């Protein structure tokens, strides 16, 4: 079974600064997907960024980028130029690329991000 670990229960950052959220995972599979989801106070889950394991290039989405280290099974999220609206709980998630567990997500424990003005 796959596991996802987020070792930072809480993080804080000043507005306009950069912050990195950590995530490690454990799997014996070679093909999978990794995600970062954001859950603001409304509790609506929002996809932030996605990484396919077979791609070596790190994914980027505007101010959000990841550092994907497949051998180390590490998948960190960097938020640049942090904004007040970035304040939320962030979840790292793993998904197998196929098989009987298709579509099933395994989530990390979450990291609460506070942005200070």
Partner 1 sequence: GAVVSQHPSWVICKSGTSVKIECRSLDFQATTMFWYRQFPKQSLMLMATSNEGSKATYEQGVEKDKFLINHASLTLSTLTVTSAHPEDSSFYICSAPVQRAAKTQYFGPGTRLLVL
> Which CB sits closer to partner 1, 18 or 40?
40
- Least CB distance to partner 1 at residue 6 (A): 9
Interface residue with partner 1 among 44, 56, 57, 62 (CB under 8 A) is 44
- Least CB distance to partner 1 at residue 108 (A): 7
Interface residue with partner 1 among 50, 63, 73, 78 (CB under 8 A) is 50
Scan residues 4-43 and list those touching partner 1 (CB under 8 A): 33, 35, 42-43
Name residue 13's beta-bridge partners.
Answer: 115
Enumerate residues 6+ apart whose C-beta is below 8 A from 20. Answer: 67, 76, 77, 78, 79
C-alpha 88/C-alpha 70 separation (Å) is: 26
């Amino acid at each position: 079974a796959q596991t996802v670990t987020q070792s930072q229960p809480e993080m804080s950052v000043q507005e306009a600064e950069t912050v990195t959220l950590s995530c490690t995972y454990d799997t014996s599979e070679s093909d999978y997907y990794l995600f970062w989801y954001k859950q603001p106070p409304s509790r609506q889950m929002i996809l932030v960024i996605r990484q396919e394991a077979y791609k070596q290039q790190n994914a980027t989405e505007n101010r959000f980028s990841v550092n994907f280290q497949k051998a180390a099974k590490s998948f960190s999220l960097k938020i640049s130029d942090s904004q007040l609206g970035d304040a939320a709980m962030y979840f790292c998630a793993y998904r197998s690329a196929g098989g009987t567990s298709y579509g099933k997500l395994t989530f990390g424990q979450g990291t609460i991000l506070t942005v200070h003005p």
